Amino acid sequence: MYKVKVYVTLRESVLDPQGKAVQQSLTSLGYQGVEEVRIGKYMELTIDDSCSDVEGTVKEVCEKLLSNPVIEDYRYEIEECVSQ
């Protein structure tokens, strides 16, 4: 069994209005040192041992469903879990 952590973020060249709103709110709350906020997505997948190509499957899932490759980047971490 594998646990996969997927992180999806907007590309640096893409404006992030939600991140900008959070940054402005932090500034208004007195957090002057926060210069930039970027908002992203975090997902966890569990993949069973029957999958022969875990990394290939994760890449395909990220590119086809979990991210928009035009405006987003993704990265992932694969951990092998001990079956109980």
Kindly tell me if the per-residue pLDDT of 84 is higher than 70. no
Residues 20-29 have a mean pLDDT of 97
Note the pLDDT of residue 82.
Answer: 76
> Global pTM?
0.86
How far is 39 from 63, CA to CA, in rounded Å?
19
DSSP E strands, the chain: 2-10, 40-47, 72-80
Kindly tell me if the per-residue pLDDT of 83 is higher than 70. no
How far is 18 from 31, CA to CA, in rounded Å?
17
